[in-house]
Each structure stands twice: as structure tokens, then as C-alpha cells.
Structure 1
Amino acid sequence: GFFLRYATAIEQKATIRTDYLEVINARLDAVPTKTSLFRALSSIASISSGASIGKEGPMVQLSALAGSLMGRFCFKNLPLKNMDVVAMAAAAGLSSVYHAPLASAIFVAEIAFGISALQRLIPLIISAGMAVLTMYTLGYRSALYPFAHAQFALTPENMLLTVLIGLLAGLAGWALIWLIAQSRKRFSRVKSLPLRLGLGGAMVGVLAIGSTKVLGNGYEVIVEIMAGGFMLKGLIALLLLKMLATAISVGSNAVGGLFTPSLLTGALLGVVVATLASLAGLPVDNAVIFAAVGMGAVLASVSQAPLMAMLMVLEMTLNSSLLFPTMIACALAFMVVYRLQSSSTYPVIQNHFSRSDAKFDFDNGIISQFIVSGAALQPQDPVGKALAVSSLKRERFVYVINETGQFMGAVSIHDISRKVLDKEITLHSPISCVTDDTFPYVFENQTIREGWEAFARVTLERLPVLNNAVERRFLGALTKTSLIQKAKDFL
């Protein structure tokens, strides 16, 4: 708690971001060293005390910090941005923890960048692969959860269970995120960070009276589940207790990851559903194999990175028969969480969703929502009136419409001033003599994107808006500023 309080104080004072995902998303130059180290020390203390959090959080953060330092001091002469080096280091760190190089690269691409572009993925995959190779060299050569002996049979019953697990995993992920949010809200009333962490640890300790399996990240428990070492009642109780313990630990600001707790929650859910289906008379050959399906589905719903979750289960188990059912379950779980409008575990995901929604609105929204009033006169009005209206409205052009409101063109105030000074016209001349009938315009039912493209072809700040190509009735003006304001939400 004291370590975390010190790190938080530094962040607030210097207004810096420590989390590597936020550093990458904000395109910052470096991962802060001091706050990363103090947060890692806080995480070590929390994990050692049995907090229900994953070890991957501080390990990946320290990997990102190492990459940031190398980018600043070792790779200065290479055409690499420090942000890219941080992303590569983060992918390598996650890969070394879970022995899943491809899923780790996809995770950083999905969460940090919000894309899966080839130019981003290649260096991430290389760094993640080298990390796994290093772990193999050090003797860690087996899959994290060896489960290659079981095969998933593509039967109607198994696929029905897969769909059910995917939907329930989405609800479980939503429930876990909601519990964490509620836990954070209540723990925020405790202003002292050390006291807050201590209180969270005490509450997890009380839950551990019911089962000591809720302590830690849950790796050993997943191995036991895959070995078939639990009864149904124990699985259900552990599922509920683990979700509560995780919400309490994360809500009390314990520094750590949610990967392994999510995997354990999914494994418990998958086995419980398969066991209940078997008791109900559904032919289930091996209930344990659905633990892996549940792992991927809950991880997809909590992280909101379904592609990463699919690949991670495949790489952690080295069981290719799990790929298809895991794809189905992960997609369904992600859709459920998305439809429930759940807040994300990673704040940067909300930024990606917001940018995506803003771009969709920009591409499909209609110009009519941005129409503002525009100065308009009739052809017989004198040019002196056009000058007066322009001065009042502070507009360079005055639009010309006939008595029925049909758009006839526009007059330039600069052209009027020049011709009056050259004595080509007088202030009493009708504006019809200086009207440009080829003046560009847009229609109200065109998309915002089409309006943007229309501005790209001219040097104007405003364009007249007409109702349609037949009536050509003048409705107002579209401003370039309004489109720029709309576009900045996703640029």
C-alpha cells in the first residue's frame, strides 16, 4: 500500500501515465521508471499475500519498462519509435508468461493499437517469439496447461454446450467487470491506500476460510480442474468465491493482472455447465474439455479482445481441436458483453470503441444535422445590401435565392468591393450581375463524409446546403469547422 501510494502521488504530481497500454495508446515517449518500479513492488507484496490477481500484470509492465529504456538508450539510431519498442517488449513479456507468442502479439495489437495491421504485428510477433524461445532455452518447454490428450468431438450436443458456455461466459464476464466497478466505488471511500489494500486483503482472507483455492492467481487450480480433481458443489462454490475475491482484490487497488483469474473463472464455468448437462442426460464425453472453452470465452469477455483469447487457449493447451469451439464461444461472449454496454477492463478499449463509433457516424451521418443559417438575398437586391449583410454576418459570400427559395448561386464580397472600386458597378446595382451560378453546394441527405470530400475540392469555409437536386431549395450552410470538430473524435 505504501509503495502504491508513493507511485500514485508521483503520477498525480507529474500528470504522467504509468500503464504500458496507456503509454502506447497515447503515443508517449517513454514508460515512467520510478512509478513502474514502485507499482511492481506493490504488486509483489499483494501477490505474496494471496490477492486474487494475476502475476502477468507487473511482469509485462516491467518488460515494457525494459523496452522503453532500450528504446531510449540503445536503439536511438534505428528507425523505431519508442512506442513501438515498448509494444514489442510488452508482447515479449506476456509471451514469456503464457508461452503464447501469437496471442500475445495479437493482444497488444488489439488492445494498445486497436488494430491488427500487418506492419504492427510483424515486430510484435518476432519479439514474442524470441521471448518464448528464451523461456524454452531456460527449460520451460511444456505447454502452460498440457491438455493435448483430449479431443473435442464436433457433435450437436457439444456444439450446443459450446454456445451455452459462450453466452454464460459473456454474462460472467459482465458480472465480474460490474463487481470490480462496484468494489472500486466502495473502496474509494477509504482514502488511505495502505489501509485500502489491507482491508481488501482481510476480506479475501475471510473468503479463503471457505476455500483456500481463491488465493493467488489460480494457475494451480486450473491444472487440478483439468485433472478432474473437484466435485460439482465445490466447483460452484469456488466459482462464486473466486469472482468475489478477484473483485475485492482489484477493487482495493491491488496491482496485478486479470488474465489468470479470468481463465480460472472460465474453467470453473465450463466444467460446471458441462457437468450439469451430463447430469441432465446430455451425452458429454469429457466435461473437463469444456474448461478450456470456458477459459477462452471468459477471457474474451473480460479483456474484450476475442481474437487474442481464441489464440491464447490454443497456444496454452497445444490442442488444435479446441480452436473451433473456442472461436464460437469467444465470439458469443464478446457479443454479450458488448451488447450489455459493459465498461472495459482496459480503459484504452473504450477509446477504440469511441473512435470506431465516431468514424461510423462520420461515414454514415447526414449533413442535415450540421446545417446553420446562411446569409441569402434575392437577385434584384442591390450589392450595397449584400455588403451590409456580409458585414453583419461576417461572411465572405452571400447566397442568392429566388422568390421561391431556389438556390441561384452566390456572390463574393471581395468581387463586389473590387468592381465597385473599379466603377464597373455601383452600390445600387443588382447582385444578379455579380452572381456566380457555378458556386459549389451539397445536399442535406448526403453523408458527412461526402461533405468532407466536397470541402476538400474547394478553399471555402462554408458551403450552401440544398434540399435535393430537383427543387434546389436553399436550407442553410455547412461549415468546415463543424466537420473538423466531428472528425477530431476519431483522428
Structure 2
Amino acid sequence: MNKTAQIKKNHQFIKLRKLIIVSILIGFLSAFLGISLKKITEYYEEIFFHQASTNPFFYILFPVFGLSVIYFLRLYMFKKKENKGIKEVFESTNSKTKNLPSYKIPSHTINGLLTVIFGGSTGIEVSTVVATATIGSVAQQKENVFRQYKTELICAGVAAGITALFSSPIAGILFALEVISRKVTRAFVISNLIAVSIAFGLLTLLKEEPLFTVSINTWHLRAIPYFILLGILAGINSVYLTKCVLFFKSQFAKIETHYYKIIIGSVILSVSLFIFPQLYGEGYHAIKTITTANNEIPLTFTLALTFIGVLLLKPIVTSITLASGGDGGVFAPSLFIGAFLGILVASVLNTFFDTQIIPVNFMVIGMAAVLSASIHAPFTAIFLVCGLTNNYTLFFPILAACLISKYTAKMIYPNTVYTFVPSI
């Protein structure tokens, strides 16, 4: 009996040791991929956006070129299969037999990069999530002992990837928990903590700066009713984004000739970018512009019209980018919409009601609130945005707005782009 117990104990120790080693490898590879993709995307997006700003002809050329290259890559390199985004991760974790094939790593990485740098109005976050989830999935398939840890190792890759993109280990773990796993096991805690620790260590070693540099020092209790208002509006806007994505994907799915999708998508995207250059790519350049602008933005008719136009068009061009073959998701669009919504609400309140609220606070809270409602993951949104700005001053207002926006969105429409299942 003692001998049997000792054998079992040794076996458990070997399993634990292997789990720790594979979690370190997954954490490093996922973080390295996430950081590399982020850096390359930022570098080339800035170059191409500058070229398009100088010569508007490129607003027409870039989208059609980018979507065409993605189409031919899919046709000749990636087994003629379209990328489904995070739904691919769900399909894998919900099935004992279905795994993420290794070609999904270059497929999502390359296609996500090409989509964004050539003006596709989405972000690299979902591409990174699926690529890093695939790293976890491939690692899980290599050893029989890991078969029972399939979801945990996929989540470890995802958590490390999110950490690398947003400099927030807590957001990485919470996203893996809230959106993908939805349960905590001993293996989940071990593998994910190790993976995000490695990812954060790599970020520290590389001295990665926060994506947005904002100066937030305080917030006022008198602004609480306005935070609630922003949360409700964020929930409504997130439903609009979700509905747009689902509607345009269903409409484009009816077009049998894929190149017609590219042409239609490119035309709409080009016209939109020509009118509102802020919609180019991830849109982080536009957020940085309004972040560095004067804290008190005077609301003129032209500015109000621009903000409203951007808020109405962003979900449409994001949806068309994805429906016409682009690779991405709703992460970056949600942050973009939230930032512009927050600034617009603050400007209206200050201009017409003399509330004297702080616009940059509303911008940051808006980013978290729209993301929370779009993916139904409020705690991920809180720590993700706090990590983006490297500032936790607004933690409690963000918490309130994120919970309000999520439940507002769920009351209007219960699904997200991840959970919606089309009726056959």
C-alpha cells in the first residue's frame, strides 16, 4: 500500500514538474509573439498611415491591397480556411477531439498584421489571442500527460498574450477566466500564474512603456451620476457594435464570390477613411491625439459632428473589415469607441451644463465600459485599461461604469460576437 502511494505521489510530482516547464515555455513564446506583433504593427501602421495622410490615394489602394493579400495567403498557404477569431478557441476548449492546428499561429499573426497596417479598422488583439491559444494547444498535444489540461494550457497562452499586449498580468488571467475557461482549477492557477509572470518579466526586461500616457490625479464624487450615464451609453454603443458585426458578417456571407466581398469592403472602407482618417487601423493614434490635446476640449459644431460621425461609422467599418476577410475582433474598436464616447459626453456636459468634470477621466472610463459590455467581461476591462494607462486612480468609477455597461448591454441584447450562434 505504501509502495502504491509512493508511486502515485511520484507520478503527481512528475506531472506537476512537466506542467511548470510547459507553462514557462508557453508564457515565453506567447509573450514574445504578442510583443513582436505589437511592435511590428505599430511601426508599419505609423509609416503607412503617414503615407496615406500625405497622399489620400493610398486610402483607396491600401485596403484593397491588404485584403487581397490576405485572401491569396489563405487560398495558397493556410488550407483555404477562414479565421473565425475567438470562436475557434471556444470550439477547441469545448471539444475533446478538436484542437487548434499549428498553422493558426502564422495565419492569425500575419493576417492580423496585414489587416491593421493596411487600414483595416480593427486591432491585433484577437489575432494574438488565437495565435497564443494555439501555442498552448500545440503544447498540450505533445504529451499524453497534458490531455486533461487542454483548457488550462490554452488559457495560459491567451493570458500571456494579453499580458504582453496590455502590460497587465491580472487582465490576462481574468480574460482567460471570464471569457474562455469560466472555471478555476489547480492546474489553471499554476499554469496561468507562471505564464503571465514570464510574460510580465519579459515586458519588464524590455522596458515596455504603457500604451497611453495620461495624467490622472483625482476624480470627484459629484461626477458619479455622470459615470452612471456614461456606463449606460457605453452599454448601448457596445450593442450597436455587436449588432453591426453580426449583421454585416451575415450579409457578406451571402456573397459567393470572395473577391466581390473584397471590392465592396474596400470601397466602403476607403471612403470612410478618406472622410474620417481617425478610423485607420487600430485607431490608437487617434486616441493618443485626443489624450495629448488640452484637457478642456471646447465643443464646436464641427467637433461634435466629427465625434458623432466616428462613433456611428467605427462599428460599421470594423464589421466590414472583418466580413470582407480581415483578421481581428472587437477589442481595439471597443477601446476606440469608448474613448471618443467618453470625451464627447464630458464635452457636452461641460459645455451645456457647466458640470466641470474632467474629460480625460471620462475617456479612460469610457474605454473600459465599452470593452466590458462588448465582451461581457467587466473585470478584464478594468485591469486591462488600468494597465494600458498604468494608473489605478479611477478604479472605483471604472468598476461602476463597467458593471453598469455590461448589464445594460445584456438587458438589450444577451449575446456578444463571441457567444452568438446563428440559427440554421
**What is the deviation of 1:100?**
1.5
TM-score (norm 1): 0.64
Q: Distance in 1 between matches of 2:87 and 2:102?
A: 8
1:126 correspondence with 2:198: no
The equivalent residue for 2:407 is 335
Distance verdict in 2 for CA 1:39–1:96, change over 3 Å: closer
Equivalent position amino acid for 1:54 in 2: G
What percentage of aligned pairs have identical amino acids? 23
The equivalent residue for 1:397 is none
1:114 correspondence with 2:204: no
Distance verdict in 2 for CA 1:4–1:340, change over 3 Å: farther
**What is the deviation of 1:90?**
1.4
The equivalent residue for 2:164 is 96
**What is the deviation of 1:139?**
3.1
TM-score (norm 2): 0.73
Distance verdict in 2 for CA 1:227–1:119, change over 3 Å: same
**What is the deviation of 1:11?**
7.8
The equivalent residue for 1:174 is 239
Q: Distance in 2 between matches of 1:314 and 1:153?
A: 15
Q: Distance in 2 between matches of 1:130 and 1:273?
A: 39
**What is the deviation of 1:77?**
5.3
The equivalent residue for 2:396 is 324
**What is the deviation of 1:99?**
1.1
Distance verdict in 2 for CA 1:99–1:190, change over 3 Å: same
The equivalent residue for 1:213 is 278
Q: Distance in 1 between matches of 2:141 and 2:321?
A: 34
1:298 correspondence with 2:370: yes
The equivalent residue for 1:137 is 205
The equivalent residue for 1:422 is none
Gaps of 5+ in 2: 1-70, 298-302
The equivalent residue for 1:289 is 361
Cα contact 2:105–2:135 (8 A) shared by 1: no
Equivalent position amino acid for 1:145 in 2: F
1:82 correspondence with 2:154: no
Distance verdict in 2 for CA 1:198–1:342, change over 3 Å: farther
- Greater share of helix: 2
Q: Distance in 2 between matches of 1:319 and 1:295?
A: 14
Pick the structure with greater CA Rg: 1
**What is the deviation of 1:294?**
0.4
Q: Deviations over 1:335-385 (max 9, x none)?
A: 1111113421213x879xxxxxxxxxxxxxxxxxxxxxxxxxxxxxxxxxx
Equivalent position amino acid for 2:124 in 1: K
Distance verdict in 2 for CA 1:179–1:128, change over 3 Å: same
Distance verdict in 2 for CA 1:199–1:135, change over 3 Å: farther
Q: Deviations over 1:416-475 (max 9, x none)?
A: xxxxxxxxxxxxxxxxxxxxxxxxxxxxxxxxxxxxxxxxxxxxxxxxxxxxxxxxxxxx
SS in 1 for 2:353: coil
Distance verdict in 2 for CA 1:219–1:163, change over 3 Å: same
Distance verdict in 2 for CA 1:29–1:133, change over 3 Å: farther
Distance verdict in 2 for CA 1:304–1:221, change over 3 Å: same
Cα contact 1:3–1:39 (8 A) shared by 2: no
**What is the deviation of 1:78?**
6.2
Equivalent position amino acid for 2:339 in 1: A
Equivalent position amino acid for 1:38 in 2: S
Cα contact 1:106–1:121 (8 A) shared by 2: no
**RMSD (Å), alpha carbons:** 2.7
Distance verdict in 2 for CA 1:228–1:122, change over 3 Å: farther
Distance verdict in 2 for CA 1:88–1:194, change over 3 Å: farther
Distance verdict in 2 for CA 1:212–1:10, change over 3 Å: closer
**What is the deviation of 1:307?**
1.6
Q: Deviations over 1:310-333 (max 9, x none)?
A: 121122212222110111111111
Distance verdict in 2 for CA 1:200–1:125, change over 3 Å: farther
Instruction: List, as ranges, runs of 4+ consecutive aligned residues in structure 1 with deviation greater than 6 Å.
Output: none
Gaps of 5+ in 1: 352-491
Cα contact 1:5–1:193 (8 A) shared by 2: no
Cα contact 2:93–2:150 (8 A) shared by 1: no
The equivalent residue for 1:356 is none
1:45 correspondence with 2:111: no
**What is the deviation of 1:204?**
0.8
Equivalent position amino acid for 1:199 in 2: I
1:185 correspondence with 2:254: no
Cα contact 1:204–1:215 (8 A) shared by 2: no
Cα contact 2:105–2:132 (8 A) shared by 1: no
Equivalent pairs counted in the alignment come to 342
Q: Deviations over 1:25-78 (max 9, x none)?
A: 3355631123553344333332232101111222222222222233333x5556
Cα contact 1:2–1:193 (8 A) shared by 2: no
Q: Distance in 2 between matches of 1:41 and 1:304?
A: 28
The equivalent residue for 2:219 is 153
Distance verdict in 2 for CA 1:145–1:233, change over 3 Å: same
1:251 correspondence with 2:323: yes
Cα contact 1:163–1:328 (8 A) shared by 2: yes
SS in 2 for 1:52: coil
Distance verdict in 2 for CA 1:123–1:36, change over 3 Å: closer
Most deviating of 162-171 and 41-50:
41-50
- Greater share of strand: 1
Which of 67, 72, 88 is residue 2 of structure 1 equivalent to? 72
Q: Deviations over 1:249-298 (max 9, x none)?
A: 12334211321111010000011001100012232242121101000110
SS in 2 for 1:81: helix
